[in-house]
Amino acid sequence: MKELTVNAVLENMPKVTEFVDEQLEAFGCPPRAQAQIDIAVDELFGNIVRYAYQPGMGPATVRVEVTGEPAVILTFIDNGVPYDPLKKADPDTTLSAEERQVGGLGIFMVKKSMDEIAYEYQDGQNILRIKKKI
């Protein structure tokens, strides 16, 4: 398992993506799975940046581990405001973009592209795990 902790600011997005990609490439992750994981990283780290500490700033940790399945598990940890993004109803994708409510599409895409996603709030931390079989 490898771990990176950075300030939850937009300027650190490239550092987080690079860290995750280095781990995925070391494990021979197929390009399609890596692209899906990169989109999930962008969405989930972006949500921490935008919502966890507003109006302040705090740390965000990203853990990457590979299981014997083979699968990759990414864990996002922050000390921000408790928030379970999985409780938000999925957007109605049958509606046009103009008719839909704003928000929720990113986490919906993560749910659809990952094999598992789970959230817990423990010891003052938001912990969101995603799993992608590779």
If phi > 0 it is left, if psi is from -120 to 50 it is alpha, else beta; for residue 111 that is alpha
Alpha-carbon distance values, 112 to 27, 70, 94, 108, 121 (Å): 23, 19, 16, 6, 22
Select from 119, 101, 122 the least CA-distant residue to 47.
Answer: 119
- What is the pTM for the complete model shown? 0.90
> Per the structure, how many domains does the chain have?
1
pLDDT at 42: 96
pLDDT at 104: 53
CATH number at residue 86: 3.30.565.10
> Which residues constitute the domain of residue 121?
2-133
Select from 105, 107, 86 the least CA-distant residue to 96.
Answer: 105
pLDDT at 15: 98
| Owner of token pair 């799975």 | 33
